[in-house]
Amino acid sequence: MTSVIVNGPGCAAAVCTGTVGATLQLTATAQLSNSTAQSVTSQAQWASSSPNVATVNNAGLVNFRAAGDSDITATYQGQQGGVTIRLANPAGPRTSFGTGQHLVGRDIAAGRYFTNPVSGCYWERLRGLGGTLADIIANDFVSFDAGQLIVDIAAADLAFSTDDECRTWSTNPSRGFQTTITPGTWLRGSQVAPGTYRATASPGCYWERLRDFSGTLNGIISNDFVSGGGQVFVTIGPGDAGFNTDDECGTWTPTQTLAPATTERDSEQPLSEVEANRRRNRAQSGVPLP
């Protein structure tokens, strides 16, 4: 015997697609050394790599259980063949999800997502699945208990990866309007008002005025890394999408006192300075920039 071939109705290029709740009868065929073929469906040992997605019985009958991928294999006399079962979610891509790696457009829908994480949350927007830095579009590691994080997942993204500490992402904001700004990422307008704010910062305070929530350098209007701490001011503009601030900055409170010109940031802040501030913040938390 030279090989075992697994196949079934609707399978092509070793991939079988279907929907949750359906079944599929697979067959296993042994290719013999004399160039003949023999059915070994009932004699083979069948196995599923992800029984939560699809199960298979001793006769090769597959039950489709949940959206995702599962490798179904048949082993006979030391030879193994198999197919990948690929099940779509009958309700379409989800708009709420937790830990794991999720394919955009299949597992989860593109859009704006919110979460209320705990310290240690790490997420990635991905263009590839090779596990390299070049596969990362944007990422972040949040080393404090943020009240909310916001990420825009684009339709062109391949996947989104998130860990347990990020908790559950959904399209619903975590909080309503607040008069002060606490650590986290917030929407301008529905959660924080535009205007000038003041904070008494600890060394290492980092903040960002945002034009979007892509997590990329171009999504930042202006930012600062306050290495020495002390009193700091920032003016959130009426056209800003949002504001991001860490725990070293503490709580920002509205003020009628205008910030000195040397401490205000505006949309003309050089991109090189924005990048330098962001790298200093990432170096502090030990997360590389993609």
Cα gap 18→64, rounded to integer Å: 8
Q: Please give the pLDDT value at position 91.
A: 67
Alpha-helix runs per DSSP H in 173-265: none
User: Residue 66's pLDDT is what?
Assistant: 82
Return the structure tokens found at 137.
Answer: 């579009």
pLDDT tens figures, 160-170: 999 999 999 99
Q: Are strands 220-226 and 205-210 parallel, antiparallel or unpaired?
A: antiparallel
Residue 104 is assigned to a structural domain of this protein: yes
Q: Between 203 and 20, whose confidence is greater?
A: 203
What are 132's two structure tokens?
């390299």
pTM, two decimal places: 0.68
Contacts of 200 (CB under 8 A, 6+ apart): 229, 230, 231, 232, 250
Token digits for 33? 């050394």
* Domain boundary, last residue among 35, 53, 88: 88
User: Does residue 84 sit in the same domain as residue 98?
Assistant: no
| Whether residues 185 and 122 fall in one domain | no
108 touches 94 (CB < 8 A): yes
d(CA 13, CA 163) in angstroms, rounded, equals: 33
Write out the residue range of the structural domain in which residue 67 sits.
3-88
The per-residue pLDDT for 79 is 92
Helix runs in the chain, H state only: 271-285
CA–CA gap between residue 209 and residue 249 (Å, rounded): 14
* Domain assignment of residue 251, yes or no: yes
Confidence of residue 268 (pLDDT cuts 50, 70, 90): low
Does the residue 232 lie in any domain? yes
Three-class DSSP category at 170? strand
Are 32 and 100 in a shared domain? no
Are 65 and 97 within one domain? no
Residue 261's pLDDT is: 42
- Same domain as 180, residue 265: yes
Q: What is the pLDDT of residue 262?
A: 39
Q: Is the dihedral of CA 246, 249, 253, 255 positive or negative?
A: negative
pLDDT tens digits along 121-168: 999 999 999 999 999 999 999 999 999 999 999 999 999 999 999 999
Mean pLDDT (whole number) for 36-43: 93
Residues 77 and 147 in one domain: no
Position 70 in a domain = yes
Is there a single domain that holds both residue 194 and residue 117?
Answer: no
**Given the structure tokens 């401490």, which residue do they identify?**
263
Sheet holding 195-201, edge to edge: 230-236, 195-201, 253-254
269 and 187, same domain (yes or no): yes
3-class DSSP state of 179: coil
What pLDDT is recorded for position 1?
64
- The 3-state DSSP class for residue 235 equals strand
State the first-to-last Cα distance of the chain, in angstroms, to the nearest integer.
49
Please tell me what DSSP assigns to residue 219: G
Domain boundary among 154, 172, 190: 172
- Identify the band that residue 2 occupies on the pLDDT scale cut at 50, 70 and 90: confident
Q: Is the pLDDT of residue 90 over 80?
A: no
pLDDT of residue 22: 87
Do 187 and 267 reside in the same domain of the chain?
A: yes
> With bands split at pLDDT 50, 70 and 90, how would you rate the model's confidence at 266?
very low
- Percentage of the chain with pLDDT > 90? 74
Segment holding 199, helix H or strand E: strand 195-201
- The answer to which of 27-41, 200-214, 219-233, 237-251 has the lowest mean pLDDT is 27-41
| 33, 45 Cβ separation under 8 angstroms | no
Number of folded domains in the chain?
A: 3
Residues 167 and 182 in one domain: no
Residue 67 maps to which CATH number? 2.60.40.1080
Q: Answer whether residue 264 shows pLDDT above 50.
A: no
- Whether the per-residue pLDDT at 243 is higher than 80: the answer is yes
| Contact by Cβ (8 Å): 197, 234 | yes
DSSP character for 154? P
